[in-house]
Amino acid sequence: MRMATLKSVTLAILGAAALAACAQPSGNSVSANQAQTAQSVQFGTVISSRNVTVQGGTGAQTAGAVVGGVTGAALGQNIGGGTGQVLATGAGATAGAAAGMAAGNAMGSHQSIEWTVRLESGQTISVIQASPTFAVGQRVQVIGGGNNTRLAPA
């Protein structure tokens, strides 16, 4: 019964991590801490763009390592007995943690676009967001406050 519970918890954690990894930065979405707060608006022109891969944060890697380590240890514990079982549990935990960390990193990564914008002030900035998309030469709003900046059509 304990093994079935462990499998259920592991699947639930992996499912939640997979769903969280699907979120991508968008100029059409704002975080809760941006709602009902003043944001400064500047105008500029898109001068270039390029595709980028946004790497997953350490949270996804840590969660993957923990889930992988626990799963690997549980599987390793089913092998042999005595010292062999202890060694198999340790090896399973280590291999599971490494595989889980790699999977967490991959799940937390996504494709996005880096937009280079020349502001009316002459300053050039870079903003990474997946959507909406813009054409080179298009006028945009640069909306920001604190650590969050997003682009929207002007």
Q: Using pLDDT thresholds of 50, 70 and 90, give the confidence band for residue 132.
A: very high
| Model confidence, pTM | 0.54
Q: How far apart are alpha carbons 67 and 74 in whole angstroms?
A: 11
Mean pLDDT for the chain? 77
Q: In Å, how far from its chain's centre is CA 4?
A: 29
The pair of three-digit structure tokens given for residue 8, joined into one six-digit string: 């259920």
pLDDT tens digits, residue range 63-109? 777 777 788 777 777 787 778 777 777 787 788 777 777 666 656 68
The pair of three-digit structure tokens given for residue 138, joined into one six-digit string: 């298009």
Dihedral pair phi/psi, residue 125, rounded to 5°: -130, 165
pLDDT tens digits, residue range 29-45? 666 665 767 889 999 99
Beta strands in the chain (DSSP E): 40-54, 110-119, 124-128, 139-145, 148-153
Q: Which helix (H) or strand (E) holds 150?
A: strand 148-153
Dihedral pair phi/psi, residue 50, rounded to 5°: -155, 150
Dihedral pair phi/psi, residue 123, rounded to 5°: -70, 145
User: Would the pLDDT of 1 be above 50?
Assistant: no
